[in-house]
Amino acid sequence: MENVLINTLKGKTSSVVKCVSVICLSVSLGVAFVRLSLFHFACFLVSLIFPFLFFQPYIFLLLLTGILVLFPNVGFGVREGVTVFNIYGKGSGVLPIPLFSVGLFCLFLSAYIKVTSTRIRSGSKLIFLDWSIILLLFFSVSYILVAFLVNPKGISMDGFRHAVSQRGVMGYVQFGIMYFIVNLIISEKGQLLQLNRLIFTLALGRAAYGIIRFLFFGGDPANFYANYEGRQVKLTFFDIYDSAFFMYIFSFCFINILKLLNQKKHLIFAILLSGINIVFSFRRTVWIGFIFSLLYLSFNLDKGKRIFVYGLLLLIFVISIPIASSRFDSQHSIFSDLSLDYSSSRGMGRFGELFYAIKTIAKSPLYGLGATGRYDAPTVFQWRVSTEIVHSTIVHIALKMGILGLILFFLIVIGVYTLRSWNRESTLHDRDCAVIFYSAYSTLIFLLPDIFFAPSLIELRHSVGLGLFVGLVSVSARFLGQEHKLRVV
């Protein structure tokens, strides 16, 4: 009888505690919803469920990927005085790095702890991490530490903020960590397919939103060509990584229709949506990357289908002529840039940056100028551009990390493209993984112009997005049984 009474009291106490907890949580959520902005309320919710997310890294990865697909890195190109929401910059006013970066590092820690502890308990070998990524992370982190410790103003929080700035080498750290996250967490084919469905669904919805906004609401407000160059053009999305996700779903549907003969109307609809968004982005690197990807996709088709793709390319080229004419004019072109006098105010374009950056790199070619290094340029030039970045990832790496960093980067770039693009034997028994591999690989081809002719890793969304696509190539190749040692761009 005594035990029954004790158990009854325990049960009632437990019920009371649960009820009080639910009431307190409900009141807290209600007050937070009324008093906080939408973003701060979302942060409040995430902080509540963070313990759960930390011990469920796969759900954490899905959340992070959803943010990557849905939210652009807005800021550059927006008209002065116009306020825009940029999730990748939130928290940087208080913390040394944005909240998104904090979440990225927490996810990496969560994934590594969980996977390592599981392997220790099972008695299997510990995780083998690619030496190429290890070197990249070690190299990047060492440059950040040097920039922090050897700051002319002394060791301070401002010095640390400068050292971990996106304009330095922080992007390479984020890129490598995202690659590790995808490889650590995705251990089953079902997880890969679910991640692919999430990307496809969200990107397709965003593509539809882009078309509607383009047709009826003036297009992307981050329109550098209209807001600062005065051109009468609208565009779908200025952020190149929106187009990268559209290229992913374009490739996915393209392969299903032409390679696997999966004739579904919704796939054709998705191709049209994503293709229109890519063409009307008005970004030169996007257009060139789109052509590269279509050529790459066609090489894996038989002759008849290849001719069809070439015809499609020709049609896109013809349609793009009037679109391109509104994007460019006869007064300013790539050829006029080459002939400019870079010591004058007229030579402040992209080639001017390259000219002065290469001259500066010659002063310290082996190690570069460090994470906070700048290239030397005339005063009239510095008024218009930031000398901390170069509009070429290759030259930017050389400026910050010298020839050593450049060699490492090239080793990694060459490594990912040594993977076979289409393994017919493995495709026969695992078409799902083959299509994901093929789509992610095609997206990396699409991103080549951005990697080589834009500072692709100085923006948080770009560095993490690149790590995501390379991780998808690596994981899908693993399930296909392909040998791969270097898998990174």
Mean pLDDT score of the chain, rounded to an integer?
75
Is pLDDT above 80 for 412?
Answer: no
Which residues neighbour 90 within 8 Å (Cβ) at sequence distance 6 or greater?
Answer: 39, 43, 98, 99, 100
Average pLDDT over residues 453-481: 86
For residue 245, the model assigns a pLDDT of 95
Of 256, 286, 285, give the one whose Cα is nearest residue 269. Answer: 256
Write the pLDDT tens digit of every residue in 251-306. Answer: 998 888 776 655 677 788 888 899 889 988 888 888 889 988 888 888 777 776 77
Of 180, 192, 164, 186, give the one whose Cα is nearest residue 132. Answer: 180
Is pLDDT above 70 for 446?
Answer: yes
Structural domain range at position 451: 67-119+129-332+390-480
Write the pLDDT tens digit of every residue in 361-376. Answer: 888 888 888 777 777 7
For residue 201, the model assigns a pLDDT of 93
Is pLDDT above 50 for 382?
Answer: yes
For residue 36, the model assigns a pLDDT of 60
Task: DSSP letter for 256, please.
Answer: I
CA 354 → CA 122, 176, 360, 384, 449, distances in Å? 53, 26, 10, 15, 16
CA 20 → CA 9, 17, 28, 292, distances in Å? 16, 5, 12, 60
Of 361, 436, 371, give the one whose Cα is nearest residue 395. Answer: 361
Looking at the structure of the chain, the number of domains it has is 1
For residue 10, the model assigns a pLDDT of 45
Cα–Cα distance for residue pair 394/372, rounded to 1 Å: 17
For residue 200, the model assigns a pLDDT of 94
For residue 483, the model assigns a pLDDT of 46
How is residue 339 written in tokens?
Answer: 């002939």
Between 95 and 406, the more confident residue is 406
Q: Give the count of alpha carbons within 13 A of 169, CB side only.
A: 31
Q: Would residue 61 count as lying in a domain?
A: no
Q: Would residue 259 count as lying in a domain?
A: yes
Is pLDDT above 50 for 487?
Answer: no
Is pLDDT above 60 for 72?
Answer: yes
Q: Would residue 427 count as lying in a domain?
A: yes
Q: Would residue 225 count as lying in a domain?
A: yes
Q: How far is CA 353 from the centre of its chain?
A: 24
Write the pLDDT tens digit of every residue in 122-161. Answer: 655 555 556 666 777 787 888 788 777 776 666 666 677 7
Between 471 and 257, the more confident residue is 471
Q: Would residue 82 count as lying in a domain?
A: yes
Q: Which residues pair with 78 in a beta bridge?
A: 222
Q: Would residue 98 count as lying in a domain?
A: yes
For residue 318, the model assigns a pLDDT of 73
For residue 243, the model assigns a pLDDT of 92
Cα–Cα distance for residue pair 390/358, rounded to 1 Å: 10
Phi and psi, residue 25, nearest 5°: -65, -40
Of 62, 67, 84, 70, give the one whose Cα is nearest residue 207. Answer: 70
Is pLDDT above 80 for 436?
Answer: yes
Average pLDDT over residues 212-233: 81
Write the pLDDT tens digit of every residue in 298-342. Answer: 877 777 677 777 777 777 777 666 666 655 554 444 444 444 444
For residue 424, the model assigns a pLDDT of 47
Asked if residue 395 lies in contact with residue 409, where contact means CB atoms within 8 angstroms, the answer is no
Q: Would residue 305 count as lying in a domain?
A: yes
pTM of the model: 0.82
Asked if residue 60 lies in contact with residue 107, where contact means CB atoms within 8 angstroms, the answer is yes
For residue 198, the model assigns a pLDDT of 94
Q: Would residue 363 count as lying in a domain?
A: no
Average pLDDT over residues 421-439: 68
For residue 130, the model assigns a pLDDT of 60
Between 348 and 214, the more confident residue is 214
DSSP string, 445-480: HHHHHHHHHS-TTSSHHHHHHHHHHHHHHHHHHHHH
Average pLDDT over residues 421-429: 49
For residue 384, the model assigns a pLDDT of 54
Average pLDDT over residues 379-389: 62
